[in-house]
Amino acid sequence: MSWYRNSVFILKGLKDYTKSGYASASKQFCEKDLDVDCNGKSFMITGANSGIGKSLAISIAKLGGTIHMVCRNPKYADDAMQEIKNTTGNPNVHVHLLDMSEPTSIAKFAKKFIEEHESLNVLINNAGCMVNDRQVTEDGLEKNFATNTLGVHMLTKSLLPLLKKSKEPRVIMVASAGMLTQKLNVDDLQAEKMKPFDGTMVYAQNKRQHVIMTEEYAKEYPEVKFFSMHPGWADTPAVQNSMPDFYNKMQGKFRTPEEGADTALWLAVSKAALEQPTGEFFQDRKVVSKHLPLACTHSSQEDHDKLMKILDDYFSQFSE
């Protein structure tokens, strides 16, 4: 089955996820959707110092939005902040230093942010990692899970009180169609049983978790719009560093970071996105399937509930 999933995924990717796929899909876009005024609205973007995150920050800053960049590396963050300000002429760009693999730090950051800010209109969970050898954090968590799944849950749930009292609140998960190759494995979230460890597979599992988390958030918090999305295969430092073989093979076929960011931008700022169903998975501004045909990747509501219970237990543990 994994051979089938991977084969269908690659064929679909070459057709839909590449630069040519974007060119074809974008013919159906309504460009007026992005002709919006974001003055007075605030946007938090994790991993905003490079790639898709920085592209989103630049585009939203051009529309007048206040940008809160959540980044781990102070130098990269400050350099990117200055570039965004200089490029857009928007002075309302702020850096917050945070390691998304540290759940206690995330809880403290969110508490302080809520105390200091009256609103947050949009949270874009963009930051992520693909660690190709199994690493364990100081909290005893596998690094990919800690960053990509638990970190996202900690930040999203911690900021929900602020989001819920803000105008037209939205949460966007920058996921990946790589999750199409994976069925949720709630019994091995930390890849302890995976022999040998496969960072690409763990990352795809994390992205499957994102899509399920988006569904479950949407059910629990109807006053907030939740969306997950696939950026396509975009030319970013993360892809180059984490998947060098894939990066070299795909030269000339990658989307630009701006093309990769387009759907997340549309979901974050457009009025049209507010008319879309919450909890869905998007690609090129359209709702798309969360599963490949005949791939047997559907999971039960029981497993979804188990995933959210595990994440909520961690949330309680690290928020104390």
Q: Active-site positions?
A: 203
ω into 196 cis (within 30 of 0) = yes
Look up residue 123 and give its two tokens.
């949270």
The side-by-side arrangement of strands in the sheet containing 286-287 is 93-97, 66-71, 42-46, 122-125, 170-174, 225-230, 281-283, 286-287
How far is CA 114 from its chain centroid?
21
Cβ-based neighbours of 195, under 8 Å, separated by 6 or more: none
Distance separating alpha carbons of residues 177 and 141, to the nearest angstrom: 25
Nearest CA to 174 out of 110, 243, 261 is that of 261
- 3-class DSSP assignment, residue 207: helix
Rounded Cα–Cα distance for residues 158 and 165 (Å): 13
- C-alpha torsion angle, residues 150, 155, 157, 161 (rounded to 10): 170
Calpha distance 9→11 (Å, rounded)? 6
Dist. CA 228–CA 148, nearest whole Å: 14
Which residues share a beta bridge with 95?
A: 69
Q: What are phi and psi of 86, to 5 degrees?
A: -65, -40
| Half-sphere exposure for 58 (CA within 13 Å, toward CB) | 17
